[in-house]
């Protein structure tokens, strides 16, 4: 599997992470034996890289890594100070009619303590299909832009479920009937959550970085079948 390189300089590499690839081995994914993103990049670039932030295994899109371990804290400070703008795209069940600010607290999986979390959800496109999905004789979907203002684990997936607009392909927080319909009707099995872009001022060079990640193949299938433009 070749990883798409979106940006590279002497300090960092920004990649387009595929669906269903772990960034690195972890306790939570101890049963998954597939090659990690770090393994794949080491083989591809002959470099040991260090992730600055997280993406869920099932989520695709923009990920920033550094070339030296000591640079991680320098880049992470951009996240800590909200100096980075991250944008995600999602396909969700139901219609999202207006911009929403979702502020439900999210539980930390280690401490079990709920922490404040905030996500902006912006509707982009919607469609109603004459395809029955239990318990209805039709089905509705929205394309949304998601702007996380905090960085809790599974935050976007949890927040969309909280407003009854779960992300398609989410088997933990989503709707199994709609997930199954996408599998059967469109042969799409992946999570429809994609880290679309990232913008920040380079913490060492001070130049502006603005990177977008191309969408996975499943998205092209759905955009074509739904006649959505993006």
Catalytic residue among 56, 170, 196, 218: 56
Active site residue 110: no
Task: Name residue 123's beta-bridge partners.
Answer: 144
Say which residues have a Cβ less than 8 Å from residue 189's Cβ, sequence separation at least 6.
169, 182, 183, 218
What distances in angstroms separate CA 78 from CA 41, 138, 169, 206, 226, one per listed residue? 24, 44, 31, 12, 37
Angle at 92 between CA 87 and CA 94, to 5 degrees: 135
Whole-number Å distance between alpha carbons of 226 and 132: 16
Whether the Cβ atoms of residue 176 and residue 67 lie closer than 8 Å to each other:
no
Sign of the alpha-carbon dihedral angle for 186, 142, 169, 53: positive
Question: Within a 13 Å sphere around the CA of 8, how many CA atoms are in the beta-carbon half?
Answer: 10
Catalytic residues: 56
């Amino acid at each position: 599997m070749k990883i798409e390189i979106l940006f590279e300089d002497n300090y960092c590499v920004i990649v387009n992470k595929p669906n269903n690839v772990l960034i690195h081995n972890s306790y939570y994914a101890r049963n998954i034996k597939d090659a990690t993103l770090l393994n794949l990049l080491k083989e591809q670039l002959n470099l040991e890289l260090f992730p600055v932030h997280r993406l869920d295994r099932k989520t695709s899109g923009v990920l920033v890594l550094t070339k030296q371990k000591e640079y991680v804290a320098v880049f992470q400070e951009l996240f800590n100070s909200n100096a980075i703008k991250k944008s995600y795209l999602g396909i969700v069940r139901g219609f999202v009619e207006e911009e929403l600010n979702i502020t439900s607290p999210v539980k930390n999986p280690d401490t079990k303590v709920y922490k404040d979390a905030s996500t902006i959800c912006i509707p982009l496109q919607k469609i109603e299909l004459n395809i029955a999905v239990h318990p209805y004789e039709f089905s509705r979907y929205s394309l949304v832009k998601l702007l996380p203002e905090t960085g809790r684990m599974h935050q976007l997936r949890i927040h969309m479920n909280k407003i009854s607009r779960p992300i398609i392909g989410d088997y933990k927080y989503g709707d199994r009937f709609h997930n199954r319909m996408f599998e059967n009707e469109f042969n799409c099995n992946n999570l429809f959550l994609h880290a679309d872009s990232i913008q920040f001022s380079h913490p060492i060079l001070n130049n502006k970085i603005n990177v977008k990640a191309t969408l996975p193949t499943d998205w092209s299938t759905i955009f074509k079948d739904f006649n959505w433009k993006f």
